[in-house]
Amino acid sequence: MPPFDIPEGDPFGPHNLPYGVFSAPGPDSARRVGVRLGDHVLDVGAAAYALGSPYAPLLARPSLNPLLAAGRTTWSDVRRALTAWVTVPSHRETIERHFHPLSSVTLHLPFEVADYVDFYASENHARNVGRIFRPDAADSLTPNWKHLPIGYHGRSGTVVVSGTDVVRPSGQRKAPADPEPVFGPSVRLDIEAEVGFVVGGPSERGKPVGLADFRDHVFGLCLLNDWSARDIQAWEYVPLGPFLGKSFATSVSAWITPLDALEEARVAPPERTHDLLPYLDDSQDEPGGYDLRISVAINGHVVSEPPFSTMYWTAAQQLAHMTVNGASLRTGDLYGSGTVSGPTERERGSLLELTWNGRDPLELPDGKRTFLEDGDVVTMSAWAPGPGGVRVGLGEVTGRVSG
Amino acid sequence: MPPFDIPEGDPFGPHNLPYGVFSAPGPDSARRVGVRLGDHVLDVGAAAYALGSPYAPLLARPSLNPLLAAGRTTWSDVRRALTAWVTVPSHRETIERHFHPLSSVTLHLPFEVADYVDFYASENHARNVGRIFRPDAADSLTPNWKHLPIGYHGRSGTVVVSGTDVVRPSGQRKAPADPEPVFGPSVRLDIEAEVGFVVGGPSERGKPVGLADFRDHVFGLCLLNDWSARDIQAWEYVPLGPFLGKSFATSVSAWITPLDALEEARVAPPERTHDLLPYLDDSQDEPGGYDLRISVAINGHVVSEPPFSTMYWTAAQQLAHMTVNGASLRTGDLYGSGTVSGPTERERGSLLELTWNGRDPLELPDGKRTFLEDGDVVTMSAWAPGPGGVRVGLGEVTGRVSG
C-alpha cells in the first residue's frame, strides 16, 4: 500500500525526508508542512497530532519558519521522530491517512524569506565570465576572488517557488555600439543553476558566526535558479552591482533537504591555491563541500550537468564571511551558492557560458538557443550520494518563461 | 496643559504628525503605534478606542505595517482623523491621558522592513566619488548614471532604529600597495546622510509601478544613515557591488513622516541634462523633489548641511525604475535615496567627501576627524517647509560607534 511500498533505492525514500509546504484539494485548503516520501506527501502536523507527538505544535503550521527557528537539536530530534513514523510498522495505520499523492497537492514557498544573498563561488564560472567580458585581462579572476567569497544582496520579495511562471523582464539595455540606451523586453534572458542554503537559527548583530558553527545555523538546502537578464545587467551593474537584471524573480525548489540527510555527500572542496585568513581557513575542518549532481534541462532536454563538488567556496565559508562584519542572521535567510559550473563545457550552469555569450548556440530538439525564448521551461534537478549507495533526491526547481 | 500647549511654529505641531512605535515604562510595556506632537507621543490606538474611532483596530498594533498595508485612501482618512483629535477642543479631555512625554518612552523600529534598496541619486555625490576614486577618468560619472537611477539591494535584517549603537565592523581590506589583504576592524568607518522612503501598498509581480502611482505606494519618509566601511567596501565591491562594507548596520529615524505632511516641500528636481526613457520622464509631472534641509552632526558639532532638493533622481523615479522589470513591492519595503550631497563643501553627506578621502581632516572641537572614531555619536536631523512658513520637523537619526 502506498506510500509505504516505496521501491528499494527510491531517491525520496525514508533516508531523505525533505520538507515543504503544501495545500490539499478539498474543503480544507490551508497550507501545512509536509514531508516527501516517494511520490506522496505526509501532512506531518496532522500525523504528529495523531501520534501524540510533542512536535505537533511546531509542525502543524503554514510555513517551515517555526521549525527553522527551533534550532539544530530540535531539527535532529524531529528528523529522528519522522524517520520512526515512516519506518516502524506499528505507526503505519495511524499515519497512512495523512499521506497525499504528490500529484494531488499544490506546493508553496516553504518558508518566509528574510534576507536573500547570492554568492559567486564557482571558480570555473567566475573564470568563464571573466574570459567572456574581459578577454584582454591578464587574469580572468578579479584580485579579490581567491581571498573572499564575493556576494551581494538580492530581492527576497521575488523569491518564488518552483512551478511559478517567470515573466520576461523589461528594462534598459545598451550595447557598446548603441548611441543611447533602449528600452524593451530582455533579449538575453538566462538561467543560473545554483544551490540555496536556508538559515534556521538566528544570530546576534555584532557577533560573527564562525566556520565551526555553520550547522547550528543552516538547516538545509534547495535548488535555486537565479534568473538573469544579461542585457539589463550589463548596462546597470557598474559600479554597484546587479539590480534589475536579477530582481524580477529567483526560483527555489519546493523541497528543502535537511543537511542531516546529506552526511554521505560531504566532500572536501577543491584545493586552495591561496592562504586564507583565519576566519575562512577550513583546512583543518571536516569536509565543507557537498557532492550534488545537478542536471539542467530546457523543455525536457538536458543541456548541462554542473557538479556542485567543484565549488571553490563552501557554504560554511560563505556564512562565516557574510557575518564576519557583525551582520546578524534571521530565521528564513536564504543564500545562493552562485552559479555552479564544472570544468567541462557540458557542466556549465548558465546559457551565457554554455553558448559562450551567444556565439555557440545550443542545438535543442526544437531549435537553436542562445538565450531563453518565451514558453521555454527550465528544470533543474539533482541528487547526492546517500547511505548504502542510495541516492538522495533534491526537489526540482522548474519555471516557464512567459512573454 | 501639555501636549496641547505647543508653541506656535513648533516643527512637530499638528501640521506634522509623524508615526512611530513606542513602549512606555510601567507594567504595560507592549509596543504600540504613536504619533508625535511637540515633545509628547500620543498612543493613537488607545486614543482611537477612547474616541470610538473605526481606525482603532488598525492603530492599536505593535507596528506600522497594518496601517502601511491599508493604502493611500486610509492613510489620508486616518491623518484627517488624527488632526481633528489633536486640534478640536472637545476631544481634549478624552485623549489627553493617552499622551506620554517623549523623554519617558522607548522608541522602536517602526515597521518590519521587507526588502531594503539603496540608490545613488545625488549627482554631486556621484561626481565626488568618481573624482576621488577615478581621478583620471574623462567623466566623473559612469556612462549609465544619467540614464537610470543606480541602485542595489542591502540587508534589511540589520536596519536599526535611531539610538542603536553601531559596532565597528571587522573585515578584509587591502590597500593597493599591500601584498595581501589584512583583517581587522575597519579603519575608514563612514556615514552616508540619506532619506529613506517607506512602501505601504504592495504591487504584483510582473506589473511595473509607473511614476504617476508613486503616492499610492509610498507612505512616507525617514532619515537614514547608511553606515559604510570604506576600506572593506573598496576591496570587495568589484564586480558585484557593496556587501559587508554596508551590511553591518543601517540606521533609520524612529519617526516616519507621511508624504501628506510634506505637500509644501515639493520642488522640481534639478534640470535634466539627458532625455529620459518614457518610464522615467517626469518632465510633465508635478514636482517630484522634496526640499528637505538636512543637518549632520558629530558629537553635537554640525559638519554638513546636505540639501535634499539637489537630488537628481526623485523617489518616484526610483520606484518606477525598481519595478520596471516586474519586481513586486511588499508592505515595509524601504529604499534609501543615496547619499545627499549639495554642490558646496559644507553640503557633503559623507566623510569620504567632507575630508576628500582623508586628505583634508575635519576640525572638530574634540580633535581632527578623517573617519569615525570609537565613541563618536553621529546625528542627522532635518526640516522641510510646511504650511504658512512653519517648519515640518523630521525625526532625527542618531547612533554611537562602539569599538
Query: Pairing state of beta strands A289-290 and A266-267?
Result: antiparallel
Q: Residue A28 — very low, low, confident or very high, per pLDDT cuts 50/70/90?
A: confident
On the CB side of A108, CA atoms within 13 Å amount to: 18
For residues A382 and A395, is the Cβ–Cβ distance under 8 A? Answer: no
Nearest by CB to residue B241, choosing from A169, A240, A333, is A240
> Are A153 and A322 spatial neighbours (Cβ–Cβ below 8 Å)?
no
* The three three-digit cell numbers of residue B285, written as one number: 509631472
* Cis ω for the linkage preceding B278 (within 30 of 0): no
Of residues A120, A183, A241, nearest to B277 (C-beta): A183
Burial status of residue B368 (CB atoms within 10 A of its CB: 0-12, 13-18, 19 or more): exposed
- Residue among B115, B169, B278 whose CB faces A326 most closely: B169
Residues of chain A contacting B157 with CB distance shorter than 8 Å: 114-115, 327-330, 333
B82-114 tens-digit pLDDT: 999 999 999 989 999 999 999 999 999 999 999
Nearest CB partner across the interface for A243, out of B152, B245, B248:
B152
Phi, psi of B22 (to 5 degrees): -135, 165
Distance CA A276, CA A147 (A): 6
What are A5-12's contacts with CB under 8 Å, separation 24+? A6/A37, A6/A38, A7/A38, A9/A390, A9/A391, A10/A38, A11/A383, A11/A386, A11/A390, A11/A391, A11/A392, A11/A393, A12/A36, A12/A37, A12/A38, A12/A39, A12/A393
Nearest to A85 by CA among A46, A121, A134: A46
Dist CA A166 CA A228 (whole Å) = 11
- Is the pLDDT at B150 greater than 90? The verdict is yes
Q: Do B167 and A247 touch (CB under 8 A)?
A: no
Q: A192 among the known binding-site residues? A: yes
Mean pLDDT along residues B65-83: 98
Q: What percentage of residues in chain A have a pLDDT greater than 70?
A: 100
| pLDDT, tens digit (0-9, with 9 covering 90-100), for A146-186 | 999 999 999 999 999 999 999 999 999 999 889 999 999 99
* Residues of chain A neighbouring B232 (CB-CB closer than 8 A): 325
Contact A153 B153 (CB under 8 A): yes
- The verdict on a CB contact (< 8 Å) between B327 and A278 is no
In A, minimum Cα distance to B149 occurs at: A236
Q: Which of A167, A243, A275 to mutate to test the interface with B (most CBs of B within 10 A)?
A: A243
From chain B, the residues in CB contact with A235 under 8 A are 144, 148
Contacts of B147 in chain A (CB under 8 A): 172, 174, 180-181
| Average pLDDT score over residue span A317-343 | 98
The alpha-carbon gap from B119 to the nearest alpha carbon of chain A, in Å, equals 9
Q: What is the pLDDT of residues B221-243, one digit of tens each?
A: 999 999 999 999 999 999 999 99
Contact B170 A232 (CB under 8 A): no
Instruction: Show Cβ contacts of residue B6 under 8 Å, excluding neighbours closer than 6 positions.
Output: B12, B13, B14, B37, B38
Contacts of B326 in chain A (CB under 8 A): 167, 169-170, 248-249
Contact B172 A120 (CB under 8 A): no
Confidence check: pLDDT of A21 > 80: yes
CB atoms within 10 A of CB B47: 27
pLDDT at B4 over 80: no
A153 to B151: CB separation less than 8 angstroms, yes or no: no
Smallest Cβ–Cβ distance between A152 and the set B148, B152, B169 belongs to B152
Task: Give Cβ neighbours of residue B385 (< 8 Å, ≥ 6 apart).
Answer: B264, B265, B291, B391, B392
The span from the CA of A299 to the CA of A376, in Å, is 6
Tell me the count of A-B CB pairs closer than 8 A.
Answer: 185
Identify from A129, A168, A228, A240 which residue to disrupt to test chain B contact, counting B C-beta atoms within 10 A and taking the largest count: A240
- Contact yes or no for B238 and A172 at CB 8 A: no
Annotated ligand binding at A233? The verdict is yes
Query: B116-402, superfamily in CATH?
Result: Fumarylacetoacetase-like, C-terminal domain (3.90.850.10)
Cell of A102: 504528490
pLDDT in tens, B337-395: 999 999 999 999 999 999 999 999 999 999 999 999 999 999 999 999 999 999 999 99
Using CB atoms, which residue from B155, B183, B326 is nearest to A167?
B326
The pLDDT score that the predictor gives to residue B2 is 61
How crowded is residue B301: how many other Cβ atoms within 10 Å of its Cβ?
14
Task: Look at B157 and A333 and tell me if their CB atoms are within 8 Å.
Answer: yes
Q: Find the CB nearest B171 among A157, A324, A330.
A: A324
Pull the grid cell for residue A371: 538565450
Compute the residue count for chain A.
403
Residues of A in contact with B170 (CB under 8 A): 208, 324-326
What is the C-alpha to C-alpha distance for residues B346 and B222, in angstroms, rounded to an integer?
A: 22
Q: Label residue B283 exposed, middle or buried (CB < 10 Å: 0-12, 13-18, 19+).
A: exposed
Q: Which of A108, A125, A217, A321 is catalytic?
A: A125
Domain(s) labelled CATH 3.90.850.10 in chain B stretch across 116-402
Question: What letter would DSSP give residue B235?
Answer: H
The nearest CA of chain A is from the CA of B185 a distance in Å of 9
- Yes or no: say if B47 and B95 are a contact pair by the CB < 8 Å rule: yes
CATH fourth-level superfamily of A19-108: Fumarylacetoacetase, N-terminal domain (2.30.30.230)
The CA-based dihedral angle spanning residues B9, B13, B17, B20, taken in that order and rounded to the nearest 10 degrees: 100
- Residue B1 pLDDT > 60: no
| Cross-chain CB nearest to B238 (options A142, A147, A277) | A142
Q: Which residue has the cell 477642543?
A: B89
Instruction: Name the residue of chain B whose CA is nearest to A402's CA.
Output: B206
User: Chain B contacts of A206, Cβ < 8 Å?
Assistant: 167
Cβ separation B327–A155 shorter than 8 A = yes
pLDDT surpassing 90 at residue A5: no
Q: Do A171 and B324 touch (CB under 8 A)?
A: yes
Q: From the CA of B236, how many Å to the nearest CA of chain A?
A: 7
Residues of chain A contacting B158 with CB distance shorter than 8 Å: 205, 327-328
Catalytic positions of B, please?
125
Whether residue B101 has a cis bond before it, omega within 30° of 0: no
The answer to whether A66 and A106 are in contact (CB under 8 A) is no
A3 pLDDT above the threshold of 90: no
Distance from CA of B297 to the nearest CA of A (A): 24
Binding residues of B for Mg(2+) are 226, 246, 250
Mean pLDDT in chain B? 97
Answer whether B324 sits within 8 Å of A170, measured CB to CB.
yes
Å between A293 CA and nearest CA of chain B: 27
Predicted confidence band at B156 (pLDDT cuts at 50, 70, 90)? very high
Which residues of chain A make contact with B169, given a CB cutoff of 8 A? 325-326
* Residue-wise pLDDT tens digits, A263-313: 999 999 999 999 999 999 999 999 999 999 999 999 999 999 999 999 999
Please report, in range form, the residues annotated as the binding site of B. 118, 120, 134, 192, 194, 226, 233, 237, 246, 250, 339
Residues of chain B with pLDDT > 90: what percent?
96
- From the DSSP assignment, how many helices (H) and strands (E) are in chain A? 10, 26
Which site among B277, B325, B339 would you substitute to test the A interface, given the most A Cβ atoms closer than 10 Å to its Cβ? B325
CB-CB contact of A216 with B311 (8 Å): no
Using 50, 70 and 90 to split pLDDT, how confident is the model at A403?
Answer: confident
Report the C-alpha gap between B302 and B135 in whole angstroms: 29
The chain A residue lying nearest B184, using CA atoms, is A325
Residue A243 has pLDDT above 70, yes or no: yes
For the stretch B314-335, pLDDT in tens is 999 999 999 999 999 999 999 9
SS3 B40: strand
Instruction: Kindly give the interhelix angle for B72-87 and B44-51, rounded to the nearest 10 degrees.
Output: 80
Chain A residues with CB under 8 Å of B206 CB are 167
Residue A2: which pLDDT band, with cuts at 50, 70 and 90? low
Residue B3 has pLDDT above 80, yes or no: no
CATH 2.30.30.230 residue ranges of chain B are 19-108
